[in-house]
Amino acid sequence: MKALEAKKRLLEESVRLIQEQGLGALSFREMARRAGVSHQLPYHHFSSREGILAAIALEGFTDLDEALVAAAALEAKAAPQKILKEVIRAYVTFALKHPVHFRVMFRPELVPVQRHPEVLAQAKASFGRLLDAVASCHAGVKRNDPRLLEIANALWAAAHGLATLWLDGPMRGNSPRLSLAALLNSASEMFSEAGASTKRLSQNSSDKLSAARTASSSTT
C-alpha cells in the first residue's frame, strides 16, 4: 500500500471510529487494525493523537471552504443576499453531513491551532468566505470595517448554534415533527436578511459604537 493511500485510509478509519464510539475510543492501534496496516504506521504519518485530530480538522476546514466557495459560485449572478443565504446554508449542511469533523474543528483543547499553522490558515480562509458574502451585501463598506466583522461573527455563531443544537438533539427533542429542510431554509433566510440589513451599518449605529468604545476606554 502506498504511503498516501495508507494515510488516507487511516484518516478515514479514525473518523469512522470516532463516529461509532466517540473521541475516547480513538487509538492508533485500533486505527491501524481497521485500516489493515502495521500498528506502527500511524505514528509515521501523524506522530501523536493530537496529530490525527489536527489532520481531521484540516480536512474538515478544507472541505468546508470548498463547500462555501461552491455555494457562492452557484449563485454568482444572484443578489448578494441570496449568495449570503446559500453560504450560510452550506455551512450548516456541512456540519450536519460531517459531524465528526465539525466537532473536532472547533475544539482548541484538542487541536491548538497555534501549533498547527495549516489548520489555522484554512480556518481563517473559511471564515473569509462568510465575510466576503457579508461584504458583498454592503457595497462601499471596507471589508475590514469592524461592523462587517461583527455581523459575520454573529452569523457564524447563529449558523454554528443551529447545527450544534440539531446534532446534539435538543432541537429535535423539543420539536420532533420539525422538518430539517424547512428549518434550514427558514433559518438561512432569516440570518441572511439580518446580515444584509443596512441598519447595522447606519450612521447612528456607528455613532453608538464609537460612543460605547469611548465610554469603555474612559473607565479602564
The CB-based long-range contact list for 199-203 (8 Å cut-off, 24+ gap) reads: 200/147, 200/150, 200/151, 201/138, 201/141, 201/145, 201/147, 201/148
| Residue intervals in the chain for CATH 1.10.10 | 1-47
Number of CB atoms found within 10 A of residue 35's CB: 22
pLDDT at 207: 52
Question: What does the block give as the cell for 128?
Answer: 473569509
pLDDT at 155: 97
| Residue intervals in the chain for CATH 1.10.357.10 | 54-206
pLDDT at 169: 84
CATH superfamily to which 54-206 belongs: Tetracycline Repressor, domain 2 (1.10.357.10)
Question: What does the block give as the cell for 151?
Answer: 455581523
Is 1-47 a domain of CATH 2.30.29? no
Residue 216 has pLDDT above 60, yes or no: no
Identify which of 131, 149, 127, 133 has the alpha carbon closest to the alpha carbon of residue 201: 149
Q: What is the pLDDT of residues 106-126, one digit of tens each?
A: 999 999 999 999 999 999 999
